[in-house]
Each structure stands twice: as C-alpha cells, then as structure tokens.
Structure 1
Amino acid sequence: MKKILVIGSTGLLGKPVTKALIDAGFSVTVLVRDKNLAEKLFPKASIIKGDLRNKVDIEKVMQGQDAVFLSLSVKQTEKENEFHTESEGLDLVIEVAKSLKIKRIAYIASLVHLYQGMNNFDWWVFRIKQEAVQKVKNSGIAYTIFYPSAFMESIFYQSKQGNIIALGGKSEFPMYYVAAEDYARQVAKSFEVLQDSESRDFVIQGLEAFTQKAAAKTFIQHYKKEKLRTMWAPMIVMKLMGIFSQKFDYGFHIVEALNKYPEKFEAQPTWDLLGKPKITLKDFAESLQPTSE
C-alpha cells in the first residue's frame, strides 16, 4: 500500500501519525477543513479541503487511495444528539470505501473505552466508540485497529491548566502512558508489514506504568520550564459541575473510566511486530517548551 488518506490529520494524535507516514515514504493525502493550517503542517502531503458531513467530499478525496487512516474523536463540547465524526461520519467513510474498493481502514480506538459496561458504567461517548469499532470490523475491508493507553500529551495539553496539573478522583490502576510519537511510528510500521488482506488489533502501551498522581508527579519533576503543582478535585465535585457544563460532564466520565479501568500490559505482540516505544515520561517532560498562557 503506497497511497494513504488521513482523516483527522491536524488533531493532537493525527498530526504525528501523518508526519510519520510521510517520513516513512508513503504518499499521503489529508482531508481537512482548514487548508491553510494543513499546508503549514504537511508541506509534502496532498491537501484536500472537505467535510465528513459531505459524501461528495469523501468520494473526491478517496479516489485512487489504497488505505484510509481515521483519527476521529468526540469533542468535549459535542452533545449526544448531534453529528459525530465517529458515528455518521464514519458511516459515510465506510460506504465510500466499499464502493471504491479501498484495501484497508486503520482506526484509533482506545483501551479505556473498554471500561464501558464495567461496574455499571454507561456513557454515550464510549458507546459511539464501541459501535465504531464494530462498524470497521464488519465493513468487509481489511482493518487495523489501535487501542492506546493514556497519552503523555494528555498531561500537558489537557490536564495542565496554567501552572497547575489538574487531577480528579483516585487512580485504582496504573496506566502505561505512551508518547504520541512512539504510537505514530507503530502506525506507520503497520502499513509496511501487514499483508493486504490481514486484519489486526494492536494494543499501544508505553514503557512505564503510572497512576494519575504518579504520572503528574513525574512530569512536574522533569518539566523544568515552569514551576508546576497539582490540584486535586473529588469526583463528586466534578460530577456536580458536570450538571452545568458539558465540558465538565465529559471530564467527569473520562476521569472515572481512566481511574477505574483495570489496565494490564498487553503490548508485547505490538512491540514484536511494530517496534518498542522509545520515549519515557521523563524524556517527554524534558522535551517540552512552556505554553504562552
């Protein structure tokens, strides 16, 4: 497979994957809404402006492609009854991919969404994610699905608020934090090593496991550009705030799942085939520059 379409290329996790695919020598096309931004990020990619709501846009960008990589997510501001790229958007992608005989669909899921149904946990965002996985698997197209643990980037780009690392609740199980750069290299490698008709699931985990609190402590210790501290909020406070704020409701559910999902190390088969991660949480923290807040 030489020609790969990336949908979701400018996001936090789509960006390193797109760059890794380009660096690996693939001919990469991206479907974006902001063409100017994409041109700055990916000067070596073919950039097509379009929207997942529009079937014509999807047909145009998918013509001549061998595979599609999907980096989709439900944003914190989205409501259950709205359009979702991982639901209605994915339906259109699969429909067009089947008609154009695309050889492979690659899709990023998550490990934590598997918490859906455990301990009576039920959240519409995770239902969408589970349904998306089944849609890809039932499409009749060879698939690659990635199930990453927590990303190190979430500490800096989501938990960090000014000079504070915001924590919620208490982690019951450690998570194998992984750097997006390592994940991206594994994605690119998967397109090189898998046979055209081969479907695979890959668990993506990093070198070390941390609880939420331990990860924040390690990050603060090695992030020398600013003096940071942690701030902890009880889950009941987050739940109450979620009544009045869509963003806090999203945060409450995702933190609850992250804290309670019994993650085990399952990435050895991924490492054996796609390569072992290289970046530790210490490495990641030391590599960052402060935000201009």
Structure 2
Amino acid sequence: MNKILVAGATGYLGMHIVKNLVDRGLHTTALVRTPSKFKDLNLPVSLLKAEVTNPLSLENCCDGIDVVISTLGITKQTDGLSYMDVDFQANLNLLNEAKRGGVKKFIYISVLHGEELKALQICKAKEKFVEELKKSGLDYCIIRPSGFFSDITEFYNMAEKGRIYLFGNGQLKSNPIHGDDLAKVCIDSINGDTKEVEVGGPEILSQIDIAKIAFEAVNKPLKITFIPDWIRRVILRTSKLLLSTSKYGPIEFFMNVMVIEMSAPMYGKQTLKDYFLSLNNERSI
C-alpha cells in the first residue's frame, strides 16, 4: 500500500499528514478545493481539484489509490454548508468513489467520545459517516483525537486579553495533540490492524493547567474567572433560539466538550507550552 489520497489536504491536520507522507517517501495525492494553497509549498505531491460535496467532481479520483485518509469536516460553517453536507455527505461521496476505485483502506478522523456526543450536530454527522464506513466492506481505521492544539488557541487569546473564563471549577482534564504528532498516528494506521484509535498528546492537563501555560506564554499574571454551569446552559439555550444553525453548531460543540473529560492515550512529543510560544513568535512578526 503506497499510493495515498489525502482529502481535506489544505486543512490544519491534512497539511501535516501530507508533509509527513512526503517525508516517508510515500506517493501522495492531495485532494483539494483550492490548488493554489498547495502549489506555494512546492511539495512533490499530485494535486487533484474537486468539490467534495459534488459527487460528479470526485469521479475517478481514487483510481490507482491504495489508501484514502479523510480529514474532511468543517469547524466553521461557510458557503451555507452544514455538518451533514460535509462531515457526512462529502465523506460518503468519497467513500463511494473509494469503493468503486478499488481502494484497500479508508482512514477517517472523527472525535473522541463521538459516539456518546451524537446529540451535538457535528458529532451526529461524523458518527453517521462512521456507521457507513463500518458497513462499507473496506478495511478501515477511525482515528479519535482528544482535540487539536489549534482548538486550544482560544485559551491563548483570552490570556492575551488578560483573563481566562472557565466553566465549573477548571479541574476537568484533556490532552490535546499537535497536528504533526496526530499526522504520524494517522500514517502509522495505514499498516495497522486496529479499527479505532483514541489518541491525545503527551500531557494530560486540567483546564487550570492550560490557563497557567497560556498566561506564562504571554507573560501576564494568572487571572481566571470561574463561571457557574447554569450560565453555560442558559447561553446554549439562548444561542439555539437566536442564532442560525450554522453559527450555533461550533458554540454547541465547544461548550459541551468544555464540561467533560477529554483524555485519551498519550502520544507524541510536542507540548502545549511550545505551541503557545510559537503563537507568540507568529504574532510578533
């Protein structure tokens, strides 16, 4: 298995996966909506332009491909598309083409505890696709990360402004993972036998721990305001009434995962402290 198609290749995780595939000398095809985002990187990959929500644009995309790795999904809904349009239907379009093209394995990135969080729009869509993948007849692997470092950037943003707001007592733990480390897990699963992989970063941290790391990174004193959970529930109810479905979805997901444990088996080397410090360097340029 040495010909890999990466869907969602211009996204945060997709880009890391492509770079790691190239480093390992694997023949890589990047399925992209906007090829110009990749051409500037000068990576030795084949580019395939497609609109994943349109099955016609995917015709023959998997011909000669051994493994598909799909990071397709939306964190911020744009173009009037919903989670069902992308996280479910676009992946299903790709899966159908993978079956037609003779793909041997399909690797899909979902979310930790996705099965228990089906009441949330994004998880409902992701898990609906997982069900289709499991009964597809293809060999598969479902990667379930505890969260990306990029998801934790909001802690850094709040610290920059001088105060971090947490729901509850801040003791809930998680171990988000850097995109580069997660990419390695995805690629290792190409030749693995495990059907589902739960994975997080190398440090299990409470929300207070994350807040402290963020304030240290921006060199500001620790200031945390703890918000009672009833206020979170009121915000969710009010947002659902006042906001469009597309705007409510990200709020719904964020506010629900903030009040549950999101710890998974530890993997990788890159730390949250180094990630926050890298944000310092980027923003000082």
Normalised by the length of structure 2, the TM-score is 0.83
Corresponding letter in the other structure for 1:222:
A
- Residue 126 of structure 1 is matched in structure 2 by 123
- Residue 104 of structure 2 is matched in structure 1 by 103
Corresponding letter in the other structure for 2:44:
K
Describe the superposition over 1:158-208 as per-residue Cα deviations: whole angstroms up to 9, x where unpaired: 8736934764523562011211111112222222x42xxx45211111121
In 1, the alpha carbon distance for the partners of 2:2 and 2:225 equals 47
1:287 maps to 2:285: no
For structure 2, list consecutive stretches of 5 or more residues without a partner in the other structure.
none
- SS class of match (2:253): helix
- Residue 270 of structure 1 is matched in structure 2 by none
Aligned ranges for residues 75-224 of structure 1 at < 5 Å?
A: 75-77=75-77, 84-116=85-117, 122-156=119-153, 160=157, 163-164=160-161, 167-170=165-168, 171=170, 173-191=172-190, 193-194=191-192, 198=193, 200-223=195-218
8 Å Cα contact 1:104-1:142 kept in structure 2: yes
Identity rate, percent: 22
In structure 2, relative to structure 1, the CA distance for the partners of 1:292 and 1:245 (3 Å cut) is farther
8 Å Cα contact 2:146-2:263 kept in structure 1: no
- Residue 7 of structure 1 is matched in structure 2 by 7
Aligned ranges for residues 32-51 of structure 1 at < 5 Å?
A: 32-41=32-41, 43-51=43-51
Corresponding letter in the other structure for 2:73:
S
In 1, the alpha carbon distance for the partners of 2:165 and 2:40 equals 34
Corresponding letter in the other structure for 1:179:
H
8 Å Cα contact 2:6-2:31 kept in structure 1: yes
CA RMSD of aligned residues (A): 3.1
Deviation at 1:261, TM superposition (A): 2.7
In structure 2, relative to structure 1, the CA distance for the partners of 1:57 and 1:263 (3 Å cut) is same
Corresponding letter in the other structure for 2:167:
G
The range that moved more, 66-75 or 55-64, is 55-64
Corresponding letter in the other structure for 1:245:
L
In structure 2, relative to structure 1, the CA distance for the partners of 1:157 and 1:143 (3 Å cut) is farther
In structure 2, relative to structure 1, the CA distance for the partners of 1:153 and 1:80 (3 Å cut) is closer
In 1, the alpha carbon distance for the partners of 2:7 and 2:106 equals 11
Deviation at 1:230, TM superposition (A): 6.4
Normalised by the length of structure 1, the TM-score is 0.81
In structure 2, relative to structure 1, the CA distance for the partners of 1:5 and 1:265 (3 Å cut) is closer
In 2, the alpha carbon distance for the partners of 1:292 and 1:222 equals 13
In structure 2, relative to structure 1, the CA distance for the partners of 1:265 and 1:29 (3 Å cut) is closer
In structure 2, relative to structure 1, the CA distance for the partners of 1:135 and 1:178 (3 Å cut) is same
In structure 2, relative to structure 1, the CA distance for the partners of 1:46 and 1:265 (3 Å cut) is closer
In 2, the alpha carbon distance for the partners of 1:253 and 1:88 equals 21
Corresponding letter in the other structure for 2:92:
D
8 Å Cα contact 1:6-1:68 kept in structure 2: yes
Corresponding letter in the other structure for 1:291:
R
Describe the superposition over 1:210-268 as per-residue Cα deviations: whole angstroms up to 9, x where unpaired: 233421321331356x999767764146323453334662343223321233345445x
In structure 2, relative to structure 1, the CA distance for the partners of 1:31 and 1:230 (3 Å cut) is farther
In 2, the alpha carbon distance for the partners of 1:132 and 1:166 equals 35
